[in-house]
């Protein structure tokens, strides 16, 4: 399994995968996402209904979405996990359909 950082762009009605990390065992993957979820309080979690976009962690099994993290990620957490990718997305804010064929970078390690 692997973890992917995805942004749900509510204004443009689509998703863009920003980064992924090397494959890990199912237990390692679930534990890593649970650790990130645990550090996000209710007050820190962005509002999915009113925010222009939301960062989320996807748990992928091959090309299939297995699950997602339980929390939406605050900007600070997304920037800690994949600073260059988040910054580039914020600067470009591409149409989700235009970003489908972009290469998604594989980052060397998952920062908890």
Q: Cα separation of 55 and 6, whole Å?
A: 6
Query: Does residue 78 sit within a domain?
Result: yes
| Mean pLDDT score, 5-30 | 94
pLDDT tier, 54 (very low <50, low <70, confident <90, very high otherwise): very high
| Mean pLDDT score, 91-98 | 94
Query: Does residue 105 sit within a domain?
Result: no
Residue 75's region, left for phi above 0, alpha for psi from -120 to 50, else beta, is: alpha
Q: What is the pLDDT of residue 23?
A: 86
Residue 27's region, left for phi above 0, alpha for psi from -120 to 50, else beta, is: alpha
What is the span of the domain harbouring residue 51?
2-96
User: What mean pLDDT, rounded, does the chain reach?
Assistant: 93
Residue 101 above 90 pLDDT? no
Counting the structural domains of the chain, the total is: 1
Query: Does residue 108 sit within a domain?
Result: no
Query: Does residue 39 sit within a domain?
Result: yes
pLDDT tier, 112 (very low <50, low <70, confident <90, very high otherwise): low
Match 């939406």 to its residue by tokens: 72
pLDDT digits (tens, 9 = 90+) for 71-91: 999 999 999 999 999 999 999
Q: Which token pair is 112?
A: 């908890």
pLDDT tier, 30 (very low <50, low <70, confident <90, very high otherwise): very high
Query: Does residue 111 sit within a domain?
Result: no
CB atoms within 10 A of CB 28: 13
pLDDT digits (tens, 9 = 90+) for 58-75: 999 988 999 999 999 999
Q: Cα separation of 75 and 69, whole Å?
A: 15
Q: What is the pLDDT of residue 111?
A: 62
Query: Does residue 110 sit within a domain?
Result: no
Residue-wise over 42-56: b if at least 16 C-beta within 10 A, else e?
eeebbeeeeeebbbb
């Amino acid at each position: 399994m692997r973890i992917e950082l995805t942004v749900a762009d509510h204004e443009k009605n689509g998703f863009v995968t920003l980064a992924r990390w090397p494959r890990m065992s199912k237990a390692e993957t679930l534990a890593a996402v649970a650790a990130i979820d645990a550090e996000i309080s209710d007050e820190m979690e962005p509002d999915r209904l009113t925010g222009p976009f939301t960062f989320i962690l996807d748990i992928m099994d091959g090309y299939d979405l297995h699950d997602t993290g339980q929390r939406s990620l605050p900007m600070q957490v997304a920037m800690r996990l994949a600073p260059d990718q988040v910054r580039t997305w914020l600067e470009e804010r591409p149409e989700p359909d235009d970003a489908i064929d972009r290469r998604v970078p594989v980052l060397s390690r998952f920062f908890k």
